[in-house]
Each structure stands twice: as C-alpha cells, then as structure tokens.
Structure 1
Amino acid sequence: MTTQTSTTATTETASPEARSGLLPPRIARATATAGGALAALSAFTAWTWTAAFPGDLTVYGYPGGLQWLVLVGGALTLLFGLSSYGVKGLRWLTPAGGDAALKLAAYAVFATTWYTVIAISAQLGGLINLEPGAYVAALAGLAALVGAQSLPYERPELPPADPEDSGWQRFKHDLGNRWTGFKAGFAADAPPPARKLPGYAEILIITGFLALGLAVFTYGITTEYDELFIGFLLTAGFGFAALTKAGLIARISALTARHRNVTLTGAFAAAAAFPFTQSDDQYATIGVNILIFATVALGLNIVVGLAGLLDLGYVAFLGVGAYAAAMVSGSPSSPFGIHLPFWGAILVGAAASMVFGVLIGAPTLRLRGDYLAIVTLGFGEIFRIAVLNLDGTSGPDITNGSNGISSIPNLNIFGFDFGAEHSIGGFTIGRFANYFFLMLLVTLIVVVVFRRSADSRIGRAWIAIREDETAALAMGINGFRVKLIAFALGAALAGLAGTVQAHVTYTVTPEQYQFAHVVPPNSAFLLAAVVLGGMGTISGPLVGGALLFLIPAKLQFLSDLQLLAFGLALVLLMRFRPEGLIANRRRQLEFHENEEAPATLTKAGA
C-alpha cells in the first residue's frame, strides 16, 4: 500500500497534468507562502479610517475583529509553506505532504481578506473607505490564491477522450476531468505511520488539541457581530481542510484511538471549562442548547449510524420525554399535579420515550428503507398533531394544546437551585451555565451507553443488519428484535435530553417538535447532524450537532436566505466529504472505494 510522498518528491515525479499552472512549482510555493506572510503582517496595520465597521480596524500595531482571522490564516499558510520547503523542525506539520495543505491555507487567506475588504466597502460606501493596509491585505490574498492555484498535486489517472467525439462531447469530457482533479485536491489523504512517542507525550498532544478545540468553539460561539462569524466560518472551514490534508487530523485521530479513556475525560473536562470562559448567560444559553441538540443527535446515531434505520420522526421522542417530564415536575399547567424530584422526572421521561419507541417500532420495523422512513415521518407528525389537540376541546385536557405546559419550575437537586447564580472559584455561574453542567452529565451518560452498546454483541448485530440485513438474518441474527432494541434505546436517550430541555426552556409546546423549521432541534436537522458529523462515530454527531445549531443561530440576519445559505453549505460539504467530518474508517473506505485506500485504513479494509 503506497502513501503520499514528501512534497519535493511529489513535485519532481508528478505528471505534466499535475505540474501545470500559472507558475512553476517552486515559484508557486514561494508565492503562496509569501502571500500568507504578508497577509499576516497586514493585520497589524489599519484597514479603514473609521470605527463604524465592527471590530475597529483603524489601529496600527494591534489586530482587531476580522484581522485576527487573517492573521491566523496567514500564519498557518506560512507554517505549511516552510514545512513544504523542508525547514528543519517543521516537517512534522505536514506528514501527508505540504502542497495540498498549503493550497487550502492560502484559500483561507484569500477568502477572509477579500471578504473583509468587500464587506468594508459595501457597508461604508465604497473603496474610498479603505486604508493602505487593506490594499496590502487584498494583494497578499490575491498572491496567495495565484500561488495556490499553481501548486501541484497528484491527480487520478483520467480516461482519454475519444478521437471521434464532437466538440461538445470533448468539452464535457475535459470539464469532467478537471472536476475530478479538483475533487482530488480536497480528498483526505492518510499520513505515513508516525514515530511512536512516549505515552505522556501523546497525552500532552491530545490535551493541546482539546484546548485548541475549546478555544475555537468559544471564539465561534462568542462572535459579537455577523461579519465576524462569516469570516470565522471561512477561516475555520479552510483551516480544518488544510489540517486534514496535511495529515494532522489523522495523526490526532490515531492518538485518541490509543488513549480513548484519556480523550473522553479530557473532552468533557474541556467542555466543562466553557461556562468559566463566559461572563454572563448570553452564550451559555447557546451552549446548553447545543449540548441538548448534539446529545439527541448521538442517540439518533444508534438508530441511523449503527443499525442503519432511517428515522425521520426522531424529534418526537425528544418531545415525548419533554412532555412526560413537564407533567410530573410540578408545573401548574400540568393536569396531574405531581412534583417528582429530578431523578424521578428524568426516569419518567426516558421510560415514556422508550415505551413509545417500542409501540411505534413493533408494527413498523418489519419495513425497510424508504417505507420505514415514511412511517417514522408520519409518527413525528402524529405526535405533534396529537399534543396540539389534547387541549380539552378537540380531546382530553392533557397537554393544553398550542399553549403547551408552561411555568416548569427550576430544578433543585440536593439543595442546589439551578435557577440561581452561584460562585465557584471566583467565577459567577448563572442559570444556563448550571443547566450546561447538568446536560454535560447527561451527554456523558449517552456517550457511555453508545460506546458500550457499539462494542457489545448487540452492537455488532446492529452493524451486520446495517451492512446487509439478508446476510445477517441468514447468519441467525434476529433482525426484528435487534432493530427494536436500537429503536427503543435511541428513543430512551432522546427522552433523557428532553427532560433537561423542558426545564431549560420553562415551556414545552407542539411547535418545538416539527419535522423541519428554521430553529433546531427538529428531525431534519438531527438527521443532517448525524450524516454531517459522521455516522457510526461518537464525536461525529456531537460536532455535527454543534455546527448545525450554532450556524443557524448565528445566521439569523440572513432572514429568508438563511436556509438557502445553510443548504448550499451542506451540499458543498457532502460533495467534498461525503463520509462526514469525523469519518468512520469503514465508511471512509466505502465512499472512496474507487480510490487508493489510505494507509491507516488498510487494517479496516482487511
């Protein structure tokens, strides 16, 4: 099994197709690197004369707002460029080769600088509002783009055109070949095996990676204005792609696989540190909602990612848990007048969702594929319409109809009031931060259940059903029972999250549990979170859920164009990385079966 060689060797042995470009390879590499360095330096100059543009880009000697993102992109481009030249001490940055990583980092510089320049001109009324530093940044971004476009990369062997083809057929053939080559530039490569480090060194690397993840997440969630968040998406998107292409993400994944318990502990410790980075509940609110959404997506991952059952009504189980917990938590709107402690309410919510999972799954799980998807979609709508009509007029007075169950009291566990502020180590923790910690504990429970289930005998049966149900049945697996267990377990985990959601939002209403609407959670976004993050993985749905909640929350300024922009982003991401952001090794092989399998996937392929 061959792997990508060093950049220098690739340049010398690449085909003429790979070497074609505006500039020779060495000059292209130098141009892209210099463009990134110049863009980073330009961040220390003034880009506009007035502070009317958000971020105050008028200061010399100190970056502000979007300039910080340009500085990060430029620094990343410079480091990858020096690494591709073989600078001593930096080769470890590009274990899978430097040219492709340099190309993507240069794209980040160009996209962020030119977006900033255009935004300043559009908002302030023309190019006259730009200071010399903005022109330098624009030229530096353009130089990085020109150099990146000229960088070589290995392209797959493409079929020659038929000599008898017409001009239009030749044009379509050439366009298809160029598109295939363009995709190859973004394809994920695996790095060669790394020199084994001492255990403590690997743990330190994992700790640093988790700290970096916390910093990026905190920065993204606390962006103060719309322009800064869009710039963050551009820099973070191209930066992640560059790190992936360089082979660093694969190296980190290999380390976390060797230290799974350490990684799990460190990840939750990093998440627990998030509320301490906030001075009020403004962003802690988004944080706890992200945890709820991501946890429900992880529960859906059992049904979709492990068992291969397409469930389009999964948000209904979240609603069942939320309504069941709200009815027994002391709400004055509840017809039962019951006030159970939290442990009782969360058990009621999980049990109610599990019962509904069994009741819905028992008659429908003998169906497959699209038929099962349609039935589950129908269940989601039936639940919403049922709770809407249980208002005392159209049916029994149980759910208060469209008014829902309101005034759900705050939790009080062992004397700890979740609705009050508390001081911990000199930090003031507000209401939503309290629920963030509680939801983090629920997420930990769901992660442990998912991990234990996936590694168990029943988990292997789920995977067998997903891969080939007929073959699994022939080997003696009781397909109906196995799928029903997956359906019930996934529903119970959604019920756990629904219990916390009911107390966080104070009110549960039918409108919160539609199939698709702008504000998640809903069934469409939950399924997208699983597919986007990576089916069959633990971290994939958590990352996908965080992105799919955060991005719509930050793109509200687009109004009617919000779903259009969001859908376009999903299409592009699925086009270039169909296996998801955090790819399962088996699924990565499936999506790249016509390409050479990466070295780290050889064992999985065997």
Structure 2
Amino acid sequence: MTTTTPAANTALLPLPTTAARAATTTGAALALIGTFLAWTYTDTFPGDLTVTGYPGGLQVLTLISAALTLLFALSGYGIKGLRWLTPGGTNSPTRLLALGTLVTTAYTVIAVILTKDDNGNLLGAIELEPGAWISLVGALVAAVAALGLPSDLPQDDTTDSSAPKRFLASLRAPAPARAKALPSWAEILIIAGAFGVALYVFTYGIDTEYAELFIGYVLAVAFGFTALTRAGLIARITALTAKHRNVTLCAALVAAFCFPFTQQNEEYALIGANILIFATVALGLNVVVGLAGLLDLGYVAFLGVGAYAAALVSGSPLSPVGVQFPFWAAVLTGAAASLVFGVVIGAPTLRLRGDYLAIVTLGFGEIFRLTVNALNGVSGPDLTNGSQGIPSIPDLKLLGFDFGISHDIGGITLGRSANYYLLMLLFTAVVVLVFRRSGESRIGRAWVAIREDETAATAMGINAFRLKLLAFALGATLAGLAGTVQAHVSYTVTPEQYQFAGSVPPNSAFLLAAVILGGMGTLSGPLVGAALLYLIPAKLQFMQDYQLFLFGIALILLMRFRPEGLVADRRKQLEFHETGQLDVPPDTPLTDTAAGTTKAGA
C-alpha cells in the first residue's frame, strides 16, 4: 500500500475542492481586513467601533476568528510550517472556524442594528460603516465556501456515508496523527504555553464590560474550541499533559496564581474567588458522584454546615456563640462539623441505592435549610438568627496578614477579593491533591468498582457500605472546607444561599450539573464545569428570568452530542461512543491462525 504526503494530496485535489479552499481563504482574508476599518458611525454601541486601524470590542473577536480560519485554510495547502496545526484533518476545523466567524460577525451587526439611541430609537442599518459590511460579506463567503470542503471522517466512519453518521462524526475528536517525538523541554514549553493561552482567554471573558461583548466571546470560544478539538490539537495537548502530570498541575497552579495580578477591578476578582469556591465544592461532590457513583441531591447543605459553623465561631457581633477562633481553628471547626453531618446522614441512608438515595439526600438538604431558618429564638433555640442569618462576619487574619485590606505586591495592588482568591486557590490546591491521591489509591479504585457494579464489587470482597460512607464523609469535609471561606467572602450566611435550585449558584442542582457538564470522575472536569456555570450567569444578569430555561436546553444538547462531558476520561469516551469493534493499534500484526499468515493491522 502506498502513502502520499499532504502536499501530494493537495496537488491531486479535485477542482471544486481547490476552488472552495481558495474562496474560503479569500473570504477569511476579507473578514480580517474589515476589522481594521470602522464598523459604526457613532459610538452609541458599546466598545467604540468607530476607530479605523485599531480593532476594539467585538471587532477583536471577529479578527481572531478570521485569523484562525485563514491559518487553518492555508494549512490545507500542505504548507510545511502549518501541518502541525491539523494532526486530525484540515477541512472540518476550517469549516467550524469559518462558521464561527460568520456567527460572531452577524451577531455584532444585528446587535448594532437593534441598539437604541438616547431617544429610544433603533440605530438601524444606517449606523453601519463599510468595515462591518466587508467583514460580514467576507465571513459569509468563507462559511459558504467551507461547506464545499470534503469531510474529515475518522477511519471507522468512512464506510458509512449517511448524513447523520457524517454529522455525528464531525462532533467527535479524531485520534491525533502520529508526530515526531519532541524533547521533554519542548513538551513542557508547549504545556506552559497552552496554560498561558487558557489564562488569557479566561481573563478576557471575565474582563468583558458589557453583555454584548460577553455573548460574542462565548460564541467565538465555543466554535474555536470545537474546531481545535476537531483538528486534533486538544487531543495532542491532552496527551502531553497526561505524560507530564506533575508539570501540568504546577503550570495550572501558576496560571491560576497569576490571575488576580491581571485584574484592576474588584468585581472581576470577586467573580474569580466565587468561581474557585464553586469549583472546590463541585470537586468534592465529584468524589461522591463521579468516583463512588452516589447521587447526592442535597450536597449544598454540607457547604452550609461549614459556612454556619465558621460564622458562629469567627467573632460576628450577632453570633449567639460569642467566641472568636483564629483562622485555622475556624477552618477546622467548619470541616469537622461537615464531617460529622456527613457521617450522621450517611450511616443510616447509604444502604439505599439509586433513586431512593437521591430522594433521601434531597430531603436532607431541605431539612438543613428549614432547620437553620427555624433556629431564630421563636420557633426554636436562638442559634442562627433564622432568615436574617449571621451577618457582619469579620475578615480573616492569618499570620498578621489582613485579608480585608489592600496590599501592594511587586507594584501591583491586591484588593480584598484578590486576597480571598489567593486563599481559596490554596484550598483548591489542597482539594485537588486529596482528590487525585484518593482517586489513584486502592480506595479510589474500589469506589470506581462500586460505581460500575456494586453487586460485583461486593462479591469481590469490597466492603461497599464502609467505602461509600468514607466517600460521603470525605465529600462533606471538602464542602465544609470551602464553606468556611465562603462565609468570610460574602460577609454573611443566610438559609436562602443553600437551596436545591435557584438562580444563583452554588446550589445542589448547579453543583451536580457542574460535575456532569465537566465530566464525572475527572480532575479538571468539575473545575471547568463550575467555572462556566458561575461565569455565564454572573455576566448575563439580564437573562436571569430565562436562566434555568436556557440552562436546561444546554444540558439537553450536551447529553445528546457529548454525554461524557466536556472533559472525559477514556472509559467514558468508550462507553458513550462504542463502535462495536475492538481497538487495535495500527502497527499491531494480526495473525491468521487458519491460514498461518500474518497481516498488517488496520
């Protein structure tokens, strides 16, 4: 069997494919050029798109999308320096990027037209300058031309040319092509660069000052990430991170540490701190749901137990306890209280399975909220001030460092929110370490066995009840640990903060969704899911009335097209995308025992 190089394949492309690639390249170039021209006549639309030669606001998103489309379109010509961009194929990522450029540009144009001036009148199409039309036409040409490019199908899907099969195949990331092995230092630099880019993208999303820019950011990132996944770059970087796991964790920690130094707005730093709190609690729930397979619908109650315990002993003037523990003692108090509640609730209920366990845990979450609401001195003992909660919780002080005041570090001022962000980052690192060590231990493997088949695990000698109780207690402790910091960040704790479902996370429904969205049983999955589920509502506050509706639609689409989650392990990928054939390495010889010959494996 003969093979051809990418350059040779390009030379043999049929004329329609060559014309489609040329039109895609031309359209992407036009869309890119248009971003350097003025898009609006006045500065009524946010972002000031009236400047020529300096893209701003939503123009930047179109510029980046068009530049990526142009780069991937050029890689299809077999240019040697660009082959590394598309180890999984060139056409599908080019098509996705071209479509993303069109969607982002069209959204901007529509948003400008529907914007109202000071008199309440729509700006209309007359507000658009030639630059907007050039970028829109160029993006449209690129998207339409990209549809003429042939599909990049995985090898096992080439035998089925039906439209549904091709569509579903385009949503799955192919295995990355074999590449020349790089030295270790080069692989480490690639990992560091990847986390640097991720930090910049995340920071850009938090720094968006208005809703129109954030919506455009979400659209551009969604199409761009899908295209990079389809190209095989994400799979290749994932392979590198799996090879250098310690380096990856250090790079992630350094990138997260650098985040508050990029923020000048306390509001954005506070969003980052709350994301870490939400992500840490989601990672604790991942121990219960993702590893042990226990469906806990009242997990947010453990966060509340830790928060209330810390609030009672942290010196609040309205605390009935009237004591003030040092920081480390308050943290241990919150974690210990959650641990006790985890054992007390888990011991009599963990002999249940499935829906029955879910109903009991849901009841526990509601009992906790109603109980702290009743401990107001009227319906019950005066312990939690009822619906008023425990306000005026003082800021933490650790080794003479006051988290409530600003500090200058290296010429950069870190405010109160940034201080608590760094503290929460330390807690997150501890939770990540606990999750990783427990997941890789014998106990973690036993949890996975119980999750897959509890009956079979019990038959193999695993004490299922004891290990499930251990997972329940560990998850509760991690939630209580995060709750101690949450109480001080928000200054107050109230029963309404710990509901099963609500418009503001964290609550039990959003925590469970973060684990499922990110990827159950993975380390980074709940962190990604929690960041998305907290950041989007925080930035799109005008959509709060429709938030749960849109959230439900997003989950339905996710379960349909990527049920394993955004970050899935190999086991989940094989479970949800089973081909019915055994995976055979491409270089493995297959022996035909009947004929006594050896064939090359496919």
Q: CA deviation at 1:194?
A: 2.7
Q: Determine if contact 2:10/2:76 at 8 Å carries over to the other structure.
A: no
Deviations 1:205-228 (A, max 9, x none): 111001101100000001011110
Q: Determine if contact 2:100/2:224 at 8 Å carries over to the other structure.
A: yes
User: Among residues 74, 86, 89, which one is paired with 1:94 in the alignment?
Assistant: 86
User: Among residues 35, 55, 58, which one is paired with 2:47 in the alignment?
Assistant: 55
Residue in 2 that maps onto 1:131:
129
Cα distance change of structure 1 residues 462 and 426 upon mapping to structure 2, 3 Å threshold: same
Give yes or no for the alignment of 1:106 onto 2:98. Answer: yes
Opposite residue 396 of structure 2, the aligned amino acid is L
Residue in 2 that maps onto 1:149:
147
1:164-313 mapped onto 2 (5 Å cutoff): 178-313=163-298
Cα distance change of structure 1 residues 35 and 7 upon mapping to structure 2, 3 Å threshold: farther
Q: CA deviation at 1:600?
A: 9.3
Opposite residue 134 of structure 2, the aligned amino acid is V
Residue in 1 that maps onto 2:37:
45
Cα distance change of structure 1 residues 407 and 77 upon mapping to structure 2, 3 Å threshold: same
Q: Determine if contact 1:10/1:154 at 8 Å carries over to the other structure.
A: no
Pick which of 556-565 and 310-319 moved more.
556-565
Q: CA deviation at 1:255?
A: 0.8
Cα distance change of structure 1 residues 356 and 8 upon mapping to structure 2, 3 Å threshold: farther
Q: Determine if contact 1:69/1:112 at 8 Å carries over to the other structure.
A: yes
Deviations 1:520-577 (A, max 9, x none): 0001111111111111111111111111000011111124223323332333233222
Deviations 1:102-134 (A, max 9, x none): 111111101101001111111143211111111
Give yes or no for the alignment of 1:548 onto 2:533. Answer: yes
Give yes or no for the alignment of 1:372 onto 2:347. Answer: no
Q: Determine if contact 1:10/1:153 at 8 Å carries over to the other structure.
A: no
Give yes or no for the alignment of 1:493 onto 2:478. Answer: yes
Residue in 1 that maps onto 2:332:
347
Q: Determine if contact 2:10/2:77 at 8 Å carries over to the other structure.
A: no
Opposite residue 239 of structure 2, the aligned amino acid is A
Q: Determine if contact 1:405/1:507 at 8 Å carries over to the other structure.
A: yes
Opposite residue 486 of structure 1, the aligned amino acid is A
Give me the whole-angstrom Cα distance separating, in 2, the residues matched to 1:474 and 1:11. 61
User: Among residues 426, 430, 435, which one is paired with 1:441 in the alignment?
Assistant: 426
Pick which of 102-111 and 504-513 moved more.
102-111
User: Among residues 73, 90, 111, which one is paired with 1:119 in the alignment?
Assistant: 111
Q: Which blocks of at least 5 consecutive residues in structure 1 are unaligned? A: 14-18, 161-176
Pick which of 77-86 and 234-243 moved more.
77-86
TM-score by length of 1: 0.91
Q: CA deviation at 1:154?
A: 4.9
Cα distance change of structure 1 residues 263 and 388 upon mapping to structure 2, 3 Å threshold: same
Deviations 1:39-96 (A, max 9, x none): 1111101111111011111111110100000011011111111112211110000111
Give me the whole-angstrom Cα distance separating, in 2, the residues matched to 1:534 and 1:132. 44
Give me the whole-angstrom Cα distance separating, in 2, the residues matched to 1:359 and 1:11. 71
Deviations 1:13-49 (A, max 9, x none): 9xxxxx9xxx932222222232222211111011111
User: Among residues 74, 77, 80, which one is paired with 1:85 in the alignment?
Assistant: 77
Give me the whole-angstrom Cα distance separating, in 2, the residues matched to 1:540 and 1:432. 25
- Report percent identity of matched pairs: 67
Give me the whole-angstrom Cα distance separating, in 2, the residues matched to 1:311 and 1:103. 41
Give yes or no for the alignment of 1:404 onto 2:396. Answer: no
Residue in 2 that maps onto 1:336:
321
Pick which of 464-473 and 564-573 moved more.
564-573
Residue in 1 that maps onto 2:502:
517
Secondary structure at the counterpart of residue 538 of structure 1: coil
Give me the whole-angstrom Cα distance separating, in 1, the residues matched to 2:42 and 2:436. 54
Q: Determine if contact 2:503/2:544 at 8 Å carries over to the other structure.
A: no
Give me the whole-angstrom Cα distance separating, in 1, the residues matched to 2:252 and 2:562. 24
1:529-548 mapped onto 2 (5 Å cutoff): 529-548=514-533
TM-score by length of 2: 0.92
Residue in 2 that maps onto 1:428:
413
Opposite residue 203 of structure 1, the aligned amino acid is I
Q: Where has structure 1 moved over 3 Å in runs of 4 or more?
A: 5-13, 154-160, 177-180, 595-603
Q: Determine if contact 2:365/2:500 at 8 Å carries over to the other structure.
A: yes
Give me the whole-angstrom Cα distance separating, in 1, the residues matched to 2:449 and 2:395. 44
Cα distance change of structure 1 residues 273 and 598 upon mapping to structure 2, 3 Å threshold: farther
Q: CA deviation at 1:178?
A: 3.4
Q: Which blocks of at least 5 consecutive residues in structure 2 are unaligned? A: 116-121, 589-602
Pick which of 411-420 and 117-126 moved more.
117-126
1:453-492 mapped onto 2 (5 Å cutoff): 453-492=438-477
Give me the whole-angstrom Cα distance separating, in 1, the residues matched to 2:363 and 2:8. 57
User: Among residues 394, 402, 412, which one is paired with 2:379 in the alignment?
Assistant: 394
Q: CA deviation at 1:421?
A: 0.7
Cα distance change of structure 1 residues 239 and 595 upon mapping to structure 2, 3 Å threshold: farther
Pick which of 186-195 and 490-499 moved more.
186-195
Q: Determine if contact 2:89/2:152 at 8 Å carries over to the other structure.
A: no
Q: Determine if contact 1:319/1:495 at 8 Å carries over to the other structure.
A: yes
Q: What is the alpha-carbon root mean square deviation over aligned residues?
A: 2.3
